[in-house]
Amino acid sequence: MAALPASKGLGNVAGMFPQVCGDTKFTYLDSAATTLKPKIVADTIDKYYRQQCATVHRGMYPLALKATDKYQQTRRKVAAFIGARDSQEVVFTKGCTESINLVAQSFGTAFVKKNDEIIITESEHHSNIVPWQLLSQRTGCKLRVVPMNPKTGHLDYEYLRRNISPLTKLVAVQHKSNVTGVTHDIQKISEMAKKHGAKVLVDAAQSCATNDIDVQRMGVDFLALSGHKMFGPTGIGVLYGKRELLNSMPPYQGGGDMVDRVNFEKTTFAPIPQKFEAGTPLISSVIGLGAAVDFIESLGRKGIRAYVDELGNYARKKLTEISEVKLLPSESSVVSFTTARSPLDAATLLGETGFAVRAGHHCCQPLHQKLGISSSLRVSVAPYTTKADIDKFVAALKDVLKQLRNNAGDA
């Protein structure tokens, strides 16, 4: 399917998603939490379990060989999708969080010592904060935090330039914020880091379905992806790592499939990427991820991004019609805001009327603290979202806020 310009919309794509196809009573606006799954992904997983179920790497019978081929096909697809040099630089994990933890554990054990520095930012998801805090507790390394401009959501690149030093071992940064939707300049960050020999890890959970990702052009050393945020299954993620780095890092977990030879005196390990994929993998989810990559490529990431950016701007414009809505700094497909009412109360009432939105800190407590709030409401769109969905949501939000004012006695 060819990519469509945003002006013509991607509304016909909704028909490819069984969960929302033809359902006029349910409006899904929580795609930053997880995307819905197209029929092709569900059918691919169903076919594996019904007709092709076998383990990988270990059997010589036809089903096992076919499963192994499908599994490795996905690895090659992902490598091409992100611009990796070859598929051996693609490691399958349980998700973006595990990918980051793998680097914190393995790279951190091998290369980070007391008084070394890890740089993160104020806008990070907890999954790109906590692993580095744990590493700091284990090794005595120090964390430096790049400020975020509370008015724009953009990072203070000058602070980053001043604070990267020979002590910096790694800069860990998100590509796109799950609260503000702001896309950070990864190439600029990488150029700063390389001047001091620091490595760069990118959390691409929010950008993998929409942004053009090329790890070589971006100059990154590690990149983490989340399958369920790019129309794929839950429980599957990817860690990209440069071959020379992965080869130099110790295993993350031990078990079957990641070994070469085992005896009671010593174990030698399989080459990458198997060295980091202990045990029976999530075969069906990997194969489903391959179908998700095919789906994204069929639409075209440029077309997807143009559409969701336009729709996000439309949502921001419509929300300004409500006087008590205060928009957080936001861009692209993510629109976060507050009102005079509890975000949880508003989201609960919206849910009861068929609208799926997110309320809370969105696993970004430091970011919310920087903005002087504890929580917010978030609307996030995808190719299956339409302007009609936004119009219905804004009308419903007006009704919900009126109901909450009446309940509080300050109508």
Which residues are identified as catalytic? 363
Distance between CA atoms of residues 313 and 315, nearest Å: 5
Which phi-psi region, left, alpha or beta, contains residue 272 (left: φ > 0; alpha: ψ -120 to 50)? Answer: beta
CA 39 centroid distance within chain: 21
Rg of the Cα atoms in the chain: 22
User: Which residue carries 């959390």 as its tokens?
Assistant: 203
By DSSP bridging, strand 142-146 and strand 199-203 are: unpaired
β-bridge mates for residue 27, sequence order: 355
Hey, how many other C-beta atoms are within 10 angstroms of the C-beta on 238? Answer: 30
Say how far residue 263 (Cα) sits from the centre of its chain: 39
Q: Which two tokens stand for residue 251?
A: 């295993």
- Positive or negative: CA dihedral 304, 80, 121, 191: negative
Whether the upstream peptide bond of residue 233 has omega within 30° of 0, thus cis, is no
